[in-house]
């Protein structure tokens, strides 16, 4: 065997065996990168302006103004929080039947396909796109936002819950079936009891996401503090904008902390 290794040197075998192809790919990629950078139309003057604006923004952050737009900010946050809570509650409630339909062990082929299709659509469409559509349909304001977040919540919750439901212990379902329990009773005793911790955990997590999303979809007109933030930016009121962003960060922190406590309690 030793005769096959004339020297004791070793190198890791290259990912692409053919040296020609390897070097062609490397030089090709480098060229593409150079051409790509060259094609960028960089406006250095504009960048300098951007830096200036950025500095003004940092200045605004250092002196956030909670007061002069106070009533607007307050209304925005109340709207956002209302949207968050209502859409999470409605979304979670509606996601449960969809999850049952999308769980292979609880559903039949027909409902399975319908529910999975709904989940796929809901998860493919980004919140902003849905919000744009719904604002066009129902007009500006928090109702469109509520519908957007509810729709997104159903897809998110139903997918994750369905996966959890598919992994429950089948023996419990079988035992209850054998005792003459109805389908709904089996869902209550055998399924809900097994997925409850995850249901609560996911709902709290989704509440978090919905609050952050509620700030974003306001920018496209779906109500909430996002709209207030957008207006503040449009008017170059960076100090008010900074105040809004700081409050958003604070609320997300508090929510994170509280959800941590609740999740620890249910485990």
Partner 1 sequence: MLIIESLDKKYPTGDRALKSVSLSVQTGEVIGLIGPSGAGKSSLIRCVNRLIEPSGGSITLNGKNILAMGQHQLRLARREIGMIFQEFALVERLTVMENLLSGRLGYTGFWASWFRRFNQADIARAFELLDRVGLSGMHNKRADELSGGQRQRVGIARALMQSPTLLLVDEPTASLDPKTSRQIMRLIIDLCRERGLAAIINIHDVVLATEYLPRIVGLRAGEIVFDGQSQSVDQTVLSRIYGEEDWTALTRKVQQAASSGAETDSDSDTVADPVRLYQ
Interface residues with partner 1 (CB under 8 A)? 169, 171-172, 174-182, 184-185, 188-190, 193-194, 196
Q: Which lies closer to partner 1 via its Cβ, residue 3 or residue 267?
A: 267
Count CB neighbours of 139 within 10 A. Answer: 10
> Cβ 198 to partner 1, closest distance in Å?
12
Q: Distance (Å, rounded) from C-alpha 112 to C-alpha 162?
A: 10
Beta strands in 118-215 (DSSP E): none
Q: Which lies closer to partner 1 via its Cβ, residue 181 or residue 233?
A: 181
Q: Which lies closer to partner 1 via its Cβ, residue 66 or residue 111?
A: 111
> Cβ 153 to partner 1, closest distance in Å?
24
Helix axes 225-234, 238-266, angle to 10 degrees: 160
Burial of 109 (0-12, 13-18, 19+ CB in 10 A): exposed
Location of structure tokens 């809900």 = 192
Helix axes 193-217, 142-166, angle to 10 degrees: 150
> Cβ 170 to partner 1, closest distance in Å?
9
Q: Which lies closer to partner 1 via its Cβ, residue 6 or residue 267?
A: 267
> Cβ 173 to partner 1, closest distance in Å?
9
> Cβ 107 to partner 1, closest distance in Å?
16
Kindly report the backbone phi and psi dihedral angles of residue 41, in degrees, each rounded to the nearest multiple of 5, phi listed first.
-95, 95
Instruction: Return the biggest CA–CA distance within the chain.
Output: 86
Q: Distance (Å, rounded) from C-alpha 2 to C-alpha 254?
A: 66
> Cβ 100 to partner 1, closest distance in Å?
15
> Cβ 183 to partner 1, closest distance in Å?
10
Q: Which lies closer to partner 1 via its Cβ, residue 191 or residue 243?
A: 191
Q: Which lies closer to partner 1 via its Cβ, residue 126 or residue 169?
A: 169
Q: Distance (Å, rounded) from C-alpha 235 to C-alpha 69?
A: 12
- b/e for 205-215, b at 16 or more Cβ within 10 A? bbbbbbbebbb
CB 116 within 8 A of CB 107: no
Q: Which lies closer to partner 1 via its Cβ, residue 131 or residue 190?
A: 190
């Amino acid at each position: 065997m030793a005769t096959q290794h004339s020297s004791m040197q070793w190198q890791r075998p290259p990912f692409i065996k053919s040296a020609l192809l390897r070097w062609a790919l490397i030089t090709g990629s480098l060229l593409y990168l150079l051409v790509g950078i060259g094609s960028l139309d960089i406006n250095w003057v504009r960048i300098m302006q951007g830096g200036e604006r950025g500095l003004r923004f940092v200045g605004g952050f250092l002196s956030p103004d909670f007061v002069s737009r106070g009533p607007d900010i307050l209304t925005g946050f109340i709207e956002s929080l209302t949207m968050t809570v209502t859409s999470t509650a409605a979304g979670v409630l509606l996601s449960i039947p969809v999850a049952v339909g999308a769980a292979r062990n609880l559903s039949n082929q027909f409902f399975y396909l319908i529910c999975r299709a709904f989940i796929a659509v809901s998860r493919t469409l980004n919140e902003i796109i849905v919000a744009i559509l719904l604002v066009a349909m129902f007009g500006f304001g928090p109702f469109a936002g509520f519908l957007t977040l509810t729709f997104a919540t159903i897809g998110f919750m139903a997918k994750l819950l369905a996966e959890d439901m598919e992994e429950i212990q089948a023996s419990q379902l079988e035992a209850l079936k054998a005792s003459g329990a109805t389908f709904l009773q089996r869902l209550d005793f055998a399924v809900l009891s097994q997925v409850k911790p995850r249901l609560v955990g996911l709902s709290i997590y989704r509440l978090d996401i919905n609050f952050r999303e509620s700030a974003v979809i306001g920018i496209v007109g779906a109500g909430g503090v996002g709209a207030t933030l957008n207006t503040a930016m449009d008017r170059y009121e960076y100090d008010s904008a900074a105040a809004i962003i700081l409050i958003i960060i604070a609320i997300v922190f508090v929510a994170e902390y509280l959800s941590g406590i609740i999740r620890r309690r249910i485990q």
